[in-house]
Structure 1
């Protein structure tokens, strides 16, 4: 295994078109589940100049105005440009009502173990969960830092510290590794869009971004940029106006940003826009939960958990563990513990994490909070799959 290398990960702000689509899709999921925790919904969104397209298949047991949800998200994110805003953008919809399904109305909290065994998955998928001890969130340092920069870039715009910024932005961090441990910051890249291309000029933008975004983001980090760290701020020049007027967006196109920044494997399935009955969403959380508890229990410095599901089965047909030569115990022993103490069945995952009720318990805004800054490694949210309450079993 390679020990010395440089690795980069990227993140994006709330206003990036792909993330805007994720947020709209998950806001619709939140709205339906808030009204009825047993709602079924699969929704995708696409945006371009002045246009939003919504495609959804859902069970008609809730009264949701899809277009109104989309307009509220666009407004909340901060798009008020003439080229794209919540009032004048055209919203096209393709909505299909699913037939009512009694088999999906189960109350997982009341099911016996044998009843949970009868609830099978309807999708085939292989998912990966990953954790490592590079950061306090137990995720790789490059994506951890990229998310911090994206969050700070959003913050200085929303608080009008840099009032000229538009919602669209991107960040990237390169980290050099020695003996598979991060030891220095190789590079930092930030692309920030502006409402007015003339305000400010590029030189002032570079100074403002460095002082209000980069420096605060690294304040509490053990590894700081050094004199050789390469810093790029809008290396292609002024980006105006950014957003859907500059490039299109689509739900589910930023899986690496949602997970581990390409440092570890992830499924090709989108996480956003799906209710908790979709195993390709919820099992990604279950795999992360398992991997994080393994690392938190000091069984390995890095751990990848693989879960493979096939249609018509309740349990994963395969559970694999890879510790990348950092394990303190045999991987076969870890797999045995996972099989004994973790429930990877669909209804078991929903019950363990209370996934159907989280929107109503969070004022109708749970899943949409995941749409930006990652679904994994979040320290700002109380996410059930980020708990380390299983370390005592190992």
Structure 2
């Protein structure tokens, strides 16, 4: 296991086409669950120049206007260009009714433990959860900083601090590690899209981004850029307009950004666009919850929890823990504690995190908020899987 290395993670703004698709998909999930907490829906989205395509499979027990939801999200993100905006873009839908599955007609709040055991998963997946002591949120520093930069770009645009910015942008942060702990900021890359090539020129854009984005983000960070830190701002020249008119987008194409920035493993399955019955979504949340509580209990400096699920079973067929040599006790002992004290069953996860009712409890918008800047490690949203209320079991 390397002790000294450099690691880089990237993030994107909510106006990036892939993230726009994630937000549309999760806004649809929110609307279904707001109308009926027991609704079933799986939806995916694709965008390109002037067009949005939505494919959804759902049980027909709710009245949801897919087209209107998509237009609302596009407007909220801030697309106003003539070649892509919420008013004039074409929206195509492919809608299909899901076949009824009686095993999912349950109210998890009223189930006994024996009844929870009878609720099986209908997807096979291996999910990962990770935590480390590099930040207060127990997230890897590179993805934490990349998200902060991406969010700051959006804030600067929305507050009209830089009026020429468009919603699309990307960030990247490289961190040098010594003895597996962050040591210095190696590099920072910010790519911001602008409306017109002549307003401002590239040099002015670079100066503006330094002053309004980069410096404020690192103001309260313990590790700041130094004289040797390489800073790149639109290094390939002006990025004009951006968005779906420049590059297409698709739901579920930013899994690393949604999780740990590749510092840890992640599932290949998309997180957005799925109701809580999908174990490939909620399993990732319970895995993060387990890993975070292990690190919060100071049982390890970093921890990766792996859960493997098979169709027709209620429990994961495999629970694995890797602490990368930082564990205070053996990984096998931690695994035993997890299996004894954490409920990794589908109905148990839904019950503990109240996943079906979160949209209604959050004014109709919960899952959409996860679709940009990460499903884990958030401080701006109260997430049940970010609680550290299980440390006593260790």
Shorter-chain TM-score range: over 0.9
Q: How many residues align?
A: 394
Q: Distance in 2 between matches of 1:62 and 1:161?
A: 41
Q: Distance in 2 between matches of 1:322 and 1:100?
A: 39
Q: Which contiguous aligned blocks of 4+ residues in structure 1 show a shift greater than 2 angstroms? A: 99-103
User: What SS does the aligned partner of 1:303 have?
Assistant: strand
What does the per-residue CA deviation read over 1:53-98, in whole Å, with 9 as the maximum and x for residues that have no partner? Answer: 0000000100000000000000000000001000110000000012
Q: Distance in 1 between matches of 2:105 and 2:160?
A: 46
The answer for the alignment partner of 1:327 in structure 2 is: 327
For structure 1, which runs of at least 5 residues remain unmatched after alignment?
A: none
Check whether the contact 1:191–1:234 (CA below 8 A) recurs between aligned residues: yes
Matches within 5 A, 1:207-218: 207-218=207-218
Give the root-mean-square deviation of aligned CA atoms: 0.6
Cα deviation for residue 103 of structure 1 reads 2.8
Cα deviation for residue 172 of structure 1 reads 0.2
The answer for the alignment partner of 1:24 in structure 2 is: 24
The answer for the alignment partner of 1:191 in structure 2 is: 191
The answer for the alignment partner of 1:72 in structure 2 is: 72
Check whether the contact 1:197–1:241 (CA below 8 A) recurs between aligned residues: no
User: What SS does the aligned partner of 1:19 have?
Assistant: helix
Cα deviation for residue 100 of structure 1 reads 3.5
The answer for the alignment partner of 1:41 in structure 2 is: 41
The answer for the alignment partner of 1:57 in structure 2 is: 57
For structure 2, which runs of at least 5 residues remain unmatched after alignment?
A: none
The answer for the alignment partner of 1:9 in structure 2 is: 9
Matches within 5 A, 1:89-128: 89-128=89-128
What does the per-residue CA deviation read over 1:343-365, in whole Å, with 9 as the maximum and x for residues that have no partner? Answer: 00000000010000000000111
The answer for the alignment partner of 1:149 in structure 2 is: 149
The answer for the alignment partner of 1:282 in structure 2 is: 282
Cα deviation for residue 330 of structure 1 reads 1.0
Give the TM-score normalised by the residue count of structure 1. 0.99
Q: Distance in 1 between matches of 2:165 and 2:196?
A: 9
Q: Distance in 1 between matches of 2:365 and 2:170?
A: 24
Q: Distance in 2 between matches of 1:350 and 1:384?
A: 11
The answer for the alignment partner of 1:236 in structure 2 is: 236
What does the per-residue CA deviation read over 1:199-247, in whole Å, with 9 as the maximum and x for residues that have no partner? Answer: 1110110010000000110111000000010000000111011000000
Cα deviation for residue 195 of structure 1 reads 1.4
User: What SS does the aligned partner of 1:92 have?
Assistant: strand
Q: Distance in 2 between matches of 1:97 and 1:318?
A: 33
Cα deviation for residue 105 of structure 1 reads 2.1
Q: Distance in 1 between matches of 2:14 and 2:308?
A: 31
Q: Distance in 2 between matches of 1:105 and 1:86?
A: 36
The answer for the alignment partner of 2:361 in structure 1 is: 361
The answer for the alignment partner of 1:263 in structure 2 is: 263
Q: Distance in 1 between matches of 2:342 and 2:219?
A: 37
Q: Distance in 2 between matches of 1:68 and 1:351?
A: 31
Pair 1:252-2:252 in alignment: yes
Cα deviation for residue 320 of structure 1 reads 0.4
User: What SS does the aligned partner of 2:172 have?
Assistant: strand
User: What SS does the aligned partner of 2:191 have?
Assistant: strand
Q: Distance in 2 between matches of 1:75 and 1:26?
A: 16
What does the per-residue CA deviation read over 1:101-143, in whole Å, with 9 as the maximum and x for residues that have no partner? Answer: 3432211010000000000000000010000000001010000
Q: Distance in 2 between matches of 1:351 and 1:219?
A: 40
The answer for the alignment partner of 1:81 in structure 2 is: 81
The answer for the alignment partner of 1:341 in structure 2 is: 341
Q: Distance in 2 between matches of 1:310 and 1:37?
A: 25
Matches within 5 A, 1:297-316: 297-316=297-316
